[in-house]
Structure 1
Amino acid sequence: MSQAGHDMPDSFSTIIGLRSGVVIVRLSGELDLFTVSHLRLRLREAAAIVTPPQVVLDVEDLTFCDSTGLGALLAALRESEKPGRFALSCVQGRLARVLKVTGLEKSFDIHPTADMAVGHLTGPT
């Protein structure tokens, strides 16, 4: 797994790993205006690892997500649809509430664990 760059604030980090042909991007900390560019960069890197892209965004350790972070998640979803597959795992707390209140939980493929998301993405389409 590769670690986030050195220029990131201590409040946010990403780790990219590969399991069963699916890229898992684990987020940790606060996703906001100051860290969203790092997430976008890491998602581009993740999408280039496997063709077509299959990416699970594990948000279990995400402690905060503002509107710019939510916008980046939506952009990742849109990008993954041409072609590729994208899922969220371990959505909880405030992010789960925001997705529910906005109706966006229906837009995302959400799974309780990263393993379940990987199993779904590697299963029949």
Structure 2
Amino acid sequence: MKITHCLDGQGVSRLALSGELDMASADAFHEQVQHALASDRPNQLIIDLAALTFCDSTGIRALVDARAAVLACQVAFRVVNPRGVTRRVMRVTGVLDVLTAV
């Protein structure tokens, strides 16, 4: 998995994921979330899944855990652009609306 990190001028930190979010990449994702929170001190963290091609149950758990960690820091959290299999898995597991809510 590749993670691209950027911060806009309005306090929004964005992590764009490409490839697969699974057991092999969940720890790297968690580290990037923690890094974005510590270094950017954003008021919102957006996880962009437009280029994510696969997400298994470990990946879903990583997204849910990221949401909890971000909200615990009083930072807004939102997942955007889930597509294909990733969107289906999020819907079936019941987290689509929770993770993508504005």
For residue 94 of structure 1, give the secondary structure of its aligned residue in structure 2. helix
Instruction: Read off the aligned partner of 2:80 and give its amino acid letter.
Output: S
Matched, 1:40 2:36: no
Question: Could you say which structure has the larger radius of gyration?
Answer: 1
Are positions 1:18 and 2:13 aligned together?
Answer: no
Which residue is equivalent to 2:66? 76
1:44, distance to aligned residue in structure 2 (A): 0.5
Q: What is the rounded CA distance, in whole Å, between the counterparts of 2:42 and 2:80 in structure 1?
A: 20
Higher relative contact order (CA 8 A, sep 6+): 2
Alpha-carbon offset, residue 53 of structure 1 = 4.5
Give the distance between the partners of 2:75 and 2:16, measured in 1 at CA: 19
- Misfit runs of 4+, over 6 Å: none
Query: Structure 2 unaligned runs (5+)?
Result: none
Q: Post-superposition shift, 1:106?
A: 2.2
CA RMSD of aligned residues (A): 1.5
How far 1:73 sits from its partner (Å)?
A: 0.1
Tell me the amino acid that sits aligned with residue 17 of structure 2. L
**Do structure 1's residue 100 and structure 2's residue 94 form an aligned pair?**
no
- The 1:47/1:53 distance shift into structure 2, 3 A limit, reads farther
Q: Is the 8 A contact 1:47 1:54 kept in 2?
A: no
1:59-70 matches, within 5 Å, as: 59-70=49-60
If the length of structure 1 is used for normalisation, what is the TM-score?
0.73
Shift in Å, 1:39: 0.6
Give how far 1:109 is off. Answer: 2.8
Q: 1:89 is matched with which residue: 67, 73, 80? A: 80
Q: TM-score, normalised by structure 2?
A: 0.88
Over residues 29-55 of structure 1, what are the superposed CA-to-partner deviations in whole Å (9 max), with x where a residue is unaligned? 011111111111111011123435521
Q: Which amino acid aligns with 2:78?
A: A
Counterpart selection for 1:29 from 19, 28, 34: 19
| Equivalent pairs, count | 100
